[in-house]
Structure 1
Amino acid sequence: MTNPAERLVDLLDLEQIEVNIFRGRSPEESLQRVFGGQVAGQALVAAGRTTDGERPVHSLHAYFLRPGIPGVPIVYQVERVRDGRSFTTRRVTAIQHGRTIFNLTASFHRPEEGSIEHQLPPRLEFPDPETLPTVATEIREHLGALPEALERMERRQPFDIRYVDRLRWTAEEIKGAEPRSAVWMRAVGPLGDDPLVHTCALTYASDMTLLDAVRIPVEPLWGPRGFDMASLDHAMWFHRPFRADEWFLYDQESPVSTGGRGLARGRIYDRDGGLLVSVVQEGLFRPYTPTPAARD
């Protein structure tokens, strides 16, 4: 299996080991911790697998409690909190080595006609994704070649990511920059036709670039890192159906960063400007050390 999109679908295909218990793979990678988007995506798969499949998820709220260990399977225990006439609620606990590393509550809603329909338009008009370079192209242009570690990451990356604004590389370039970032994203290959897979794949992607907005006024996104970063919590509201293997725009901003924590908000749009998903996340930022930032 060489296509990163196929690997993502496989990663989200959990093994059911009991009625409400699932096991997810955690690839052995040269990372200090399991990627948070992976745990969130897998937990949402576990929640969705215990519903009737007729109600799409409309919101999730999650906390990252401990760093996950790469290469160690993650067990997901699902609590069936509620099965109502219109809404279904599930609570999921992710466990490694007998310790809770993550928990998530997800709500599913039976589709119905809306009595009120409106949305704010995107804040700006953005260039089409086809006109923008990939991250790897920008790095190659700046450095002359892609470092080996980034070459490996590019081969594994399940999403094509294209920054709307050119990457900044120097202190002079980031001077006065607003805490905002926007990227076009889509899976690098087809993800099939299961709506739950697309929802969970986008959940995976939503954790990839959101905290960029916090860092933009402080340091280049792809230069040497001065901070340890760790996702603390994550919330998403799903407004409209979508496919994660089609282009979507992720518009991100950070309204505040203080006390070692930065808040980021994201709005995900389709190419026609329809608001698909709203996202909020808080992250921990500490001066860089060789060990992961602790979550106390």
Structure 2
Amino acid sequence: MNDSAQRLVELLDLERIEVNIFRGQSPDESLQRAFGGQVAGQALVAAGRTTEADRPVHSLHAYFLRPGRPGVPIVYEVERVRDGRSFTTRRVSAVQQGRTIFTMTASFHRPERGPVEHQLPPARELGDPETLPSLVDEARDHLGGLPDVLERMARRQPFDIRYLDRLRWTPEDVAGAEPRSAVWMRAVGPLGDDPLVHTCALTYASDTTLLDAVRIPVEPLWGARTLDMASLDHAMWFHRPIRADEWFLYEQESPVATGGRGLARGRIYDRSGRLLASVVQEGLFRSA
């Protein structure tokens, strides 16, 4: 297993310290705050570890209340809200140094056949992700090499990310850009066979690029930053079983940005065009 993929699996392998209490590690990295996808993924692991294995998660709704501190463990407290015949509900609070930094409600559903089945197809041609440069390679080629801090972060990135469109590097590239983006992603190595790990890894990945759709009409995705941003909330619906170590297409768009907040929506498809998950997130945007 690739080291970065192994670290992701270890990050999602929480320590159970009581029946409904778990502890997760937060990597000590050169970031201002703990990565939101990490906190959401770990919270979903905690919820899933208190739920019957035959009930996969079908939705989650979460709020980022305070920035988490890198390098400081996070405790996840699970409330068993409901155990019904078909649905199970869990509420999770993430606590760091005595303060709640994140809350999530997750719903689990025993699979069943329904009378309605349809989906919208991808808006973009699927193509072949193998023909696209990775985000790291594209940045390295454009910059003539990566600064040391970015090189270290790239080595620890657990997902291979490949943009369908060329990256925007200058303000001139941004002019006239629509608030849309699409990337191929997959874990950089195998993640094992636990379905919950794959779902939680996808939750981790879903926070990596989604708010880029809000930024695209305003600033280049790389280079000097004009905006500070932070995730406010995050919601996901899981439609089909997922393997996060196989290629998936993440289509993203921002229908509105106003009042200092930007909304982004995402759709996640597999290589055959099946819709696997839907994502919505709102972020806070301020001038840097």
Is residue 2:67 matched to residue 1:67?
Answer: yes
What do residues 97-128 of structure 1 show as CA deviations (whole Å, max 9, x unaligned)?
11100000000000111211100111121331
Query: Match for residue 287 of structure 1?
Result: 287
Query: Match for residue 292 of structure 1?
Result: none
RMSD between aligned alpha carbons? Answer: 0.9
Distance 2:126 2:2 in 1: 32
Is residue 2:80 matched to residue 1:80?
Answer: yes
Per the alignment, do residues 2 and 193 of structure 1 end up closer, same or farther by CA in structure 2, a change over 3 Å counting? Answer: closer
Residue correspondence of structure 1 range 255-274 to structure 2 within 5 A = 255-274=255-274
3-state DSSP of counterpart to 2:111 = coil
Contact 2:58/2:107 (8 A) holds in 1: yes
What do residues 43-78 of structure 1 show as CA deviations (whole Å, max 9, x unaligned)?
000000001111000000000000001111100000
Contact 2:2/2:188 (8 A) holds in 1: no
Distance 2:19 2:145 in 1: 50
What amino acid sits opposite 1:220 in the alignment? P
What amino acid sits opposite 2:36 in the alignment? G
Residue correspondence of structure 1 range 140-159 to structure 2 within 5 A = 140-159=140-159
Query: Match for residue 293 of structure 1?
Result: none
Contact 1:228/1:287 (8 A) holds in 2: yes
Contact 1:78/1:93 (8 A) holds in 2: yes
3-state DSSP of counterpart to 1:203 = helix
The number of residue pairs the alignment matches comes to: 288
3-state DSSP of counterpart to 1:231 = strand
Query: Match for residue 251 of structure 2?
Result: 251
Query: Match for residue 167 of structure 2?
Result: 167
The alignment's TM-score, normalised by the length of structure 2, stands at 0.98
Distance 2:190 2:57 in 1: 21
Distance 2:2 2:206 in 1: 23
3-state DSSP of counterpart to 1:151 = helix
Query: Match for residue 48 of structure 2?
Result: 48
Distance 1:206 1:274 in 2: 17
Query: Match for residue 117 of structure 1?
Result: 117
3-state DSSP of counterpart to 1:126 = coil
What amino acid sits opposite 1:83 in the alignment? D
What amino acid sits opposite 2:31 in the alignment? L
Q: Unaligned stretches of 5+ in structure 1? A: 289-296
Is residue 2:6 matched to residue 1:17?
Answer: no
Distance 1:114 1:157 in 2: 39
Q: CA deviation at 1:172?
A: 1.4
Query: Match for residue 294 of structure 1?
Result: none
Distance 1:83 1:136 in 2: 44
Percent of aligned pairs with the same amino acid: 82
Contact 2:81/2:89 (8 A) holds in 1: yes
Contact 2:126/2:271 (8 A) holds in 1: no
Distance 1:41 1:91 in 2: 14
Question: Deviating runs (4+, > 4 A) in structure 1?
Answer: none
Contact 1:174/1:220 (8 A) holds in 2: yes
Distance 1:109 1:186 in 2: 26
Contact 1:127/1:164 (8 A) holds in 2: no
Q: CA deviation at 1:255?
A: 0.3
Q: Unaligned stretches of 5+ in structure 2? A: none
Query: Match for residue 192 of structure 2?
Result: 192
3-state DSSP of counterpart to 1:92 = strand
Per the alignment, do residues 249 and 2 of structure 1 end up closer, same or farther by CA in structure 2, a change over 3 Å counting? Answer: closer
Residue correspondence of structure 1 range 81-96 to structure 2 within 5 A = 81-96=81-96
Query: Match for residue 212 of structure 1?
Result: 212
What do residues 120-159 of structure 1 show as CA deviations (whole Å, max 9, x unaligned)?
1111213310010011211122111111111101110000
Distance 1:277 1:239 in 2: 5
Query: Match for residue 291 of structure 1?
Result: none
Distance 2:100 2:121 in 1: 40
